[in-house]
Amino acid sequence: MKLYSYFRSSAAYRVRIALNLKGLPYEIVPIHLTKDGGHQRQPAFKAVNPQMRVPALELSSGEVLTQSLAIIEYLDDIQPERPLLPADALERAKVRAIAQIVACDIHPLNNLLPLQYLKRTLKHEQPDIDAWYHHWVTDGFTAIEAMIAPGPYACGAQVTLADICLVPQVYNARRLKVPLDSFPKIVAVEAACLKLAAFDKARPERQPDAE
């Protein structure tokens, strides 16, 4: 499998974690999102993913999957060992709720394209953009902090999709200096996850395109 990835992309980070947890071999194909106007906009990558975003996962069959949550659930389907979603329907819904707060509520408002739009098109100054970023991360993390179960992971004793989504978002929050003092449970989950080889190997700074 080929994973089209950018080392700082939290969505690609999620898929790297999932691939590592599943023990599935993959090749990283770096797509730099800011150099030369963004390599994701070049025709070669647009042919891979018409949405021009990472991640994209190219299978051995030549099929290409996009959208991190869809990719991760596909991996869970084809490699059912060490499941990323609980068997119990209620617990599965709780895991998906945390994952979707990150992937559907926090991340879309703080992704590269919206931040660039705020700056380049709407002409907001950087302090205003930083305040926007901090607000939506804090808003989502406040909800997640209240939802975290007794650990060590976000939803109990097993790593789930919730952890896979949460850890990359915490990385981004740290990089952009969002205060985390109010979120001790989230910080503890991050620490527990990063002790695992699958998470450690997926860290942005360990990627071949890391700067």
Nearest to 38 by CA among 9, 2, 11, 80: 9
Q: What angle do CA 134, 137, 139 make, to 5 degrees?
A: 105
Runs of H (alpha helix) within the chain: 10-22, 43-48, 68-78, 89-100, 107-110, 112-116, 126-147, 161-175, 184-194, 197-202
Provide the 3-class DSSP secondary structure of residue 66. Answer: strand
Provide the 3-class DSSP secondary structure of residue 203. Answer: coil
DSSP characters for 8-57? T-HHHHHHHHHHHHHT---EEEE--SSGGG-GGGSHHHHHH-TT--S-EE
pLDDT of residue 110: 87
- Assigned token pair, 106: 């926090």
Q: What is the separation, in whole angstroms, between the first and last Cα of the chain?
A: 24
Which residue ranges form the domains of the chain, and what is each CATH number?
Answer: 2-82 (3.40.30.10), 89-198 (1.20.1050.10)
pLDDT of residue 11: 97
pLDDT of residue 10: 97
Nearest to 113 by CA among 53, 173, 70: 53
- The residue ranges of the chain whose pLDDT is under 50 are none
pLDDT of residue 111: 85
pLDDT of residue 67: 98
* pTM beyond cutoff 0.85: yes
- Assigned token pair, 156: 């109990």
* Residue 194: other Cβ atoms inside 10 A: 15
pLDDT of residue 113: 85
